[in-house]
Amino acid sequence: MMSILLILVVILSVVVLSKWLICIILYPIIALAALGNREADGSLKKFLCFPLKVVEHFLRYGGTRFVIFNISYIPSCHFRKLLYKGLGVKMGKNVTIHFRAELRAPEKLSLGDGAIIGDNAILDARRGLTIGRNVNLSSNVSIYTLQHDHRDPYFGLPSEDKLKLSVEIDDRAWLGANVIVLPGVHIGEGAVCCAGCVVTKDVEPFAVVAGIPARKVNERPHNLKYEFKGKSCRFY
């Protein structure tokens, strides 16, 4: 019985260590590509991004998501933020990113001072995502900047030349649990998106919206002064 338990422990240890070994190997390659996408042009950009292109060709573009997925489980908000910054996230002071956040194209994501990202959030920044100061995203919020065009015969992606796809969320906006934000939306300062709503168009400042699709149901006071200090649990 003891020998079986020992074998199981060894197998489990090998699996866990292998996972983190893969992350350690892939992380600098992804960080290098993020640096190229953010800072470089022309041949230098191609040079910096080439190793990741080779890796993703064999992994079918799963390498980056694998690394970010595992970072999101590290039991330290401070260490997670440090690793996200290395992948290109522009991050202000006192930002809190909780467990299991999925960041797509982190080099195109900007988080303002005091922003809070809740558990299980999906932040799709492939076409640019800017989140302002003291914005609160509750658990399971999903923000998309890219989606398939159902009218396209080949189910392709919409052209950015014809359609604004980036998403902007201004200071002190609050998105409740399970809110979905679709591409091209601008959420104004202090706006509130009630739990479970689907935001398909711009939300004016200080408006309270709810429903599917989201519609204005109320208005928030304009004298908001709160600031989040980022005092999350050290091991969460």
Active site residues per annotation = 148
Amino acid type, 56: E
Spell out where 2-135 has E strands.
90-91, 96-97, 102-104, 109-111, 116-117, 122-124, 129-131
Which H helix or E strand runs over 181?
strand 180-181
Q: Are residues 183 and 199 in contact, defined by beta-carbon separation less than 8 angstroms?
A: no
Measured at the CA of 70, the angle between CA 122 and CA 22, to 5 degrees, comes to: 135
CA–CA separation, 38 and 125 (whole Å): 13
The token pair at 166 is 């980036």
CB 123 within 8 A of CB 101: yes
